[in-house]
Amino acid sequence: MKIAVFVSGRGSNLKAILDSAELKGLAEVKAVVSDKFDCLAFQVAKSFSIKTYSVGDKEGYINYDDLISELISLNIELIVLAGFLKLIPSSFIDKFHNKIINIHPALLPSFGGKGMYGMNVHKAVFDSSAKVSGATVHFVDFTYDTGKIIAQRCVDISDVNSPEEIAERVLKIEHELLPFVIKKIALNQVNIVNNRVIIT
CA distance 154 to 169: 10
Nearer of residues 12 and 52 to ligand GRF, judged by Cβ: 12
CA distance 156 to 17: 24
Taking the CB of residue 90, how many other CB atoms lie within 10 A of it?
Answer: 11
Task: Look up 97 and say whether it is catalytic.
Answer: no
Q: Which of residues 30-89 bind ligand GRF (CB under 6 A)?
A: 41, 82-83
Binding mask 129-168 for ligand GRF (x = CB under 6 A): ----------------------------------------
CA distance 139 to 103: 9
CA distance 180 to 13: 12
Piece of 25-33, 86-94, 100-108, 151-159 that binds ligand GRF (CB under 6 A) = 100-108
Q: How far is the CB of 121 from ligand GRF (least distance, A)?
A: 8
Say if CB 84 and CB 10 are below 8 A apart: no
Q: How far is the CB of 73 from ligand GRF (least distance, A)?
A: 26
Helix H or strand E segment including 121: helix 119-128
Question: For ligand GRF, which residue of 12, 52, 98, 110 counts as binding (CB under 6 A)?
Answer: 12
Q: How far is the CB of 167 from ligand GRF (least distance, A)?
A: 7
Nearer of residues 82 and 150 to ligand GRF, judged by Cβ: 82
Q: Is 153 exposed, middle or buried (0-12, 13-18, 19+ CB in 10 A)?
A: middle
CA nearest neighbour of 121 among 131, 133, 137: 133
Q: How far is the CB of 40 from ligand GRF (least distance, A)?
A: 7
Question: For ligand GRF, which residue of 174, 177, 182, 186 counts as binding (CB under 6 A)?
Answer: 174
Answer yes or no whether residue 103 interacts with ligand GRF by CB under 6 A: yes
CA distance 46 to 65: 24
Residue of minimal Cβ distance to ligand GRF: 83
Read off φ and ψ for residue 127, nearest 5 degrees: -65, -30
Please identify every residue annotated as catalytic: 104
Which residues contribute to the site for ligand GRF (CB under 6 A)? 7, 9-13, 41, 82-83, 103-105, 117-118, 171, 174
